[in-house]
Structure 1
Amino acid sequence: MNKKIVLMLLLAVCSWPGASAQQVAVKTNLLYWATTTLNVGAEVAVSKHSTVGFSANYNPWTIGSDNKIQHWFIRPEYRYWVTEKYTRLFFGVHAIGGKFEVGGFKLPIIGNRILQGLKTNYYKGSFVGAGFSIGYQFYVSPHWNLELSAGAGLARLSYHTEPVNGPKRKSYVDTKRFLPIPTEVGVTFVYLFNSKK
């Protein structure tokens, strides 16, 4: 069901009424691929300085026998480009939402500071949030750009834990909390359709 919703939203963005071919871009984030997260995005220009975009990300994997980083999330975004769309500096505002099941490992550097007991528990739940982003697109060729971006925001998490080794609980109560999170870290290839550059 979730995959169908993501696919329909991507098709809607790509077929935005009034969008000419010169105004549409598709993209993929190389850093997400490095974490084995499948991802794709689309962006449509709505004026000389504004674009709206949508990205979908999905990671279904279990690493080894019990290390899980399973998640999916979607991220609609509005961007304001300082010079012109798909060129140089931009600022963005976005929403983010999805589901996750992670655990069985210890995070490097931050350890247990965010999620206590990550090595011995799976955290299962959902999140919604919003944030701001900043980025820069470099011209590579008439159809290709390279984008660097970063974003941060606030998310509301709703989750429960299950032990990595042991029986699953028959009932549980979700923990709800607000947490500042990075909402985007990107080194992204961007393909521009019928670009006039």
Structure 2
Amino acid sequence: MKKIRLTLLLGLLVGMAATGNKAHAQFYSIRGNGLLLLSGTINIGCDIAVGQKSSLDIGLYANPIKMNKLSLMGVGVQPGFRFWRFEPNAGSFWGVHLSGAWYDLGDKYNTRKGFLVGPGFSWGHCWLISKRFTIGVEIGAGILYMQDTKRPRYTDYTQDEYIYHSKRITVAPTKADVSFVYLF
């Protein structure tokens, strides 16, 4: 937790230093992804303007759902860089990001625990609703390296337990956001 706080503080300081004499765009924003909230994922994102048409993006995600026959636990981070068409937090943008996550997924038969990491590209758009609020959408894909262990959730003591270790590289969606953004 201290590393996350230190990273966010460092990002804010870099953003404040890089935006010394700008007059047009908002410098910082905080957002929440509505699509991820529907799946039970707690998330928060921060966008820091670092240039006239660029910003640093950091997203943190956590899903605490673990029940008897269902597990959707996971923790992830997605730092990225956005290139805006006009100015940060207004209009269209494209971005690059790095995804990293630890996960524990399972149903009543099998469970899969592991991690993933990889780069990705995204495109999005923000619509200004008022002076302090915007709605943003973003979609992206990336190349992910995944390493995990698959095993049965329950094994009778009279049976053998089969554990499968796998490493793979896959192309997958890495972003799907409908975000509500507050501008500072």
Q: TM-score range by the shorter chain?
A: 0.7 to 0.9
1:157-177 per-residue CA deviation (whole Å, 9 max, x = no partner) reads: 000112122269999563100
Q: Counterparts of 1:191 and 1:31 in 2: how far apart (Å)?
A: 17
**What is the count of residue pairs matched by the alignment?**
176
Q: 1:147 aligns with which of 129, 136, 141?
A: 136
TM-score normalised by L of structure 2: 0.87
Residue number in structure 2 paired with 1:7: 5
Distance 1:55 1:87 in 2: 19
TM, length-normalised to structure 1 = 0.82
RMSD: 2.3
Structure 2 stretches of 5 or more lacking a match?
none
Change (3 A) 1:26 1:170: same
Partner AA of 2:114 in structure 1:
G
Amino acid at match of 1:34: L
Of the three residues 44, 50, 74, the one matched with 2:48 is 44
Q: Is the 8 A contact 1:6 1:74 kept in 2?
A: no
Q: Is the 1:14–1:42 Cα contact (8 Å) retained in structure 2? A: no
Is the partner of 1:78 in helix, strand or coil?
A: strand
* Cα shift at 1:12: 2.5
Deviation string for 1:141-188 (max 9, x for gaps)?
000110011000110000011212226999956310011111100000
How far does the alpha carbon of each residue in 1:3-44 deviate from its partner, in whole angstroms, 9 at most, with x for none?
A: 333333223323334146941111111111111101111111
Q: Residue type matched to 2:59 in 1?
A: S
1:153 partner amino acid:
G
Matched, 1:192 2:176: no
Letter in 2 for 1:51: S
Task: Give the conservation status (yes or no) of the 8 Å contact 2:31–2:46.
Answer: yes
1:75–1:94 CA contact under 8 A, matched in 2: yes
SS at match of 1:15: helix
Aligned equivalents of 1:162 and 1:5: distance in 2? 32
1:69 paired with 2:107, answer: no
